[in-house]
C-alpha cells in the first residue's frame, strides 16, 4: 500500500516536472493563440493575418502534434512557400495590384517621407548588433521597422530561418498596432497649428503613360542599384503594371483577391507553425519584439520631424502628420494621418497626400531591404 502511494507521488511529481519543463511553453503558446483569436474576432484586428497565424500556432503546440514534422501539413506549406520564398513574393504581386502610385507621382517630393520612414530599420539593426545578434540576424530584425510583413518574411526565411516566427509575428503585430502606436507620437511632436495645416487636392495631372512606365523604371533602377532586392521590387511592380496596363483585369483581380487570399491563408498557417513554445519563448524573442517596437516608434518620429521641416520650407503648405505615413503599413498609416488631422479640423482632408507618403514607404522598405542584402552580399556574408 505504502509502495503504491510512493509510486503515485513520484508519478505526480514527474507529471508536474514534465508540465513545467516540457509542457508549459506549449500551454503559454496556446494561450497566445487564443489571444490572437480574440483580437481578430472580437476586436477586428487584422483577422486575415491573425486567424491563420493563430491557428497554426494552435496546431503546432497541441501535445504530440506532428504538423511541423517531415510530412506534416504545416511543414509542407513551409517548405513549399516560405523556404522557397514563393509566398511573400506572391503577396507582393497582390500589394502592387492594389497600390495606386498616382498621389506619389503627383507630388514626387512626398517620396522623401518614404525614406524617412525607414530610419528605424537602421537603428534597430545597430541595436541588434550591440545586443550580440549576428550581422545577418540584425538585418532581419531591422526589417521589422519597415512595418512590412512580406519583406520581413522574405529576408528572414532566406538568411535567418530560426528567427522567422518571432520576426514575422513582430512585423505583423506592429502593422496591426499602427493606429495605437503612432497617434501619441504624432501628437507629441506636432503643435496644434501644425496639425491644422490644410493641404489642397488638385485635379489629377499624371498621364496614363507615366503610370504605365513608372513600374518599369523603378524595377530597372532597383536592378542596377540593389539587384538582391529585384525579386521583391519586381513582384510589387508586376502587380502594379498589371493594374495600370488596363488590359488584364482578370489577372489584376486574381492578384488582388483569389491569389492574395489563398497565399495569405497558407502563409499565416506556415508562420504559426514556426511558433512552437520551446523554440519561440526565449529571451531572444523578447529582444526582437522590443527592437521592433523601437524601430516603428523611430520611423514615426523621423517621418513627422521631416514633415515639420518640410512644413517650414514650404511656407506652411505641408501638414507634418503625413510624415508618419512614410512607413510600409499600407494603407493603415495613411488612414491614421487622415483620422488625426480630421480630428483637429473637420474640413482637413489629408488622405490622398498621406497615401502618397505611404506608397513611398512601400517602395522605401523594399529598397532598404535590397540595399542591406546587397551590402551583406558584398561583404560575402550571404
Tens-digit pLDDT profile for residues 227-261: 888 888 999 999 999 999 999 999 999 999 999 99
- Confirm if 176 and 45 have CB atoms less than 8 A apart: yes
C-alpha cell at 29: 503558446
Q: What is the pLDDT of residue 7?
A: 53
Given the C-alpha cell 513554445, which residue does it identify?
277
At residue 379 the predicted structure's pLDDT band, cuts being 50, 70 and 90, is low
- Confirm if 381 and 136 have CB atoms less than 8 A apart: yes
What mean pLDDT comes out for the span 113-141?
90
Which of the residue ranges 29-43, 59-73, 126-140, 329-343 would you say has the lowest mean pLDDT?
329-343
At residue 199 the predicted structure's pLDDT band, cuts being 50, 70 and 90, is confident
Q: What is the pLDDT of residue 75?
A: 94
* The pLDDT of residue 58 is above 90: yes
Instruction: Give the rounded distance of the alpha carbon of 230 from its chain centre.
Output: 18
Domain count, the chain: 1
C-alpha cell at 184: 501619441
Question: What b/e string do you get for 216-243 counting C-beta neighbours within 10 Å, with b at 16 or more?
Answer: eebbeebeeebebbbbbbbbbbbbbbbb
Predicted TM-score of the model (pTM):
0.80
**Distance from C-alpha of 110 to C-alpha of 112, rounded to nearest angstrom:** 5
* The pLDDT of residue 10 is above 50: no
**Distance from C-alpha of 114 to C-alpha of 90, rounded to nearest angstrom:** 23
- Residues of the domain holding 116: 2-378
Evaluate the CA torsion angle 213, 214, 219, 225 in order and state its sign: positive
What mean pLDDT comes out for the span 196-208?
82
Query: What are the CA-CA distances from residue 319 to residues 102, 177, 298, 303 (Å)?
Result: 19, 23, 19, 11
**Distance from C-alpha of 96 to C-alpha of 382, rounded to nearest angstrom:** 28
What mean pLDDT comes out for the span 79-98?
90
At residue 19 the predicted structure's pLDDT band, cuts being 50, 70 and 90, is very low
At residue 194 the predicted structure's pLDDT band, cuts being 50, 70 and 90, is very high
Amino acid at each position: 500500500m505504502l509502495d503504491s502511494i510512493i509510486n503515485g507521488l513520484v508519478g505526480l511529481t514527474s507529471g508536474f516536472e514534465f508540465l513545467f519543463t516540457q509542457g508549459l511553453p506549449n500551454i503559454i503558446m496556446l494561450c497566445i493563440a487564443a489571444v490572437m483569436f480574440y483580437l481578430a474576432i472580437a476586436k477586428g484586428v487584422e483577422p486575415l493575418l491573425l486567424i491563420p497565424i493563430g491557428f497554426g500556432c494552435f496546431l503546432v503546440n497541441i501535445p504530440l502534434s506532428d504538423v511541423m514534422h517531415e510530412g506534416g501539413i504545416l511543414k509542407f506549406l513551409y517548405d513549399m512557400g516560405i523556404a522557397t520564398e514563393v509566398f511573400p513574393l506572391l503577396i507582393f504581386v497582390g500589394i502592387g495590384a492594389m497600390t495606386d502610385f498616382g498621389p506619389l507621382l503627383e507630388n514626387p517630393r512626398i517620396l522623401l517621407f518614404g525614406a524617412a520612414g525607414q530610419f528605424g530599420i537602421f537603428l534597430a539593426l545597430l541595436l541588434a548588433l550591440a545586443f550580440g545578434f549576428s550581422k545577418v540576424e540584425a538585418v532581419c530584425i531591422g526589417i521589422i521597422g519597415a512595418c512590412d510583413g512580406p519583406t520581413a518574411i522574405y529576408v528572414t526565411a532566406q538568411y535567418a530561418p530560426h528567427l522567422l516566427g518571432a520576426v514575422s509575428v513582430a512585423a505583423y503585430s506592429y502593422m496591426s498596432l499602427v493606429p495605437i502606436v503612432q497617434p501619441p507620437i504624432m501628437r507629441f511632436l506636432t503643435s496644434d497649428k501644425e496639425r491644422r495645416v490644410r493641404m489642397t487636392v488638385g485635379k489629377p495631372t499624371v498621364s496614363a503613360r507615366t503610370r504605365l512606365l513608372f513600374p518599369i523604371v523603378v524595377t530597372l533602377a532597383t536592378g542596377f542599384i540593389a539587384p538582391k532586392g529585384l525579386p521583391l521590387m519586381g513582384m510589387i511592380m508586376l502587380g502594379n503594371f498589371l493594374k495600370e496596363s488596363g488590359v488584364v483585369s482578370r489577372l489584376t483581380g486574381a492578384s488582388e483577391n483569389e491569389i492574395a487570399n489563398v497565399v495569405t491563408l497558407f502563409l499565416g498557417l506556415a508562420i504559426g507553425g514556426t511558433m512552437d513554445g520551446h523554440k519561440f519563448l526565449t529571451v531572444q524573442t523578447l529582444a526582437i519584439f522590443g527592437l521592433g517596437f523601437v524601430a516603428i516608434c523611430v520611423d514615426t518620429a523621423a517621418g513627422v520631424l521631416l514633415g515639420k521641416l518640410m512644413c517650414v520650407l514650404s511656407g506652411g503648405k505641408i501638414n507634418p502628420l503625413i510624415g508618419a505615413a512614410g512607413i510600409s503599413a499600407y494603407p493603415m498609416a495613411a488612414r491614421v494621418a487622415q483620422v488625426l488631422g480630421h480630428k483637429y479640423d473637420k474640413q482637413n482632408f489629408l488622405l490622398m497626400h498621406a497615401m502618397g507618403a505611404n506608397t513611398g514607404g512601400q517602395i522605401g522598405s523594399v529598397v532598404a531591404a535590397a540595399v542591406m542584402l546587397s551590402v551583406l552580399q558584398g561583404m560575402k556574408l550571404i
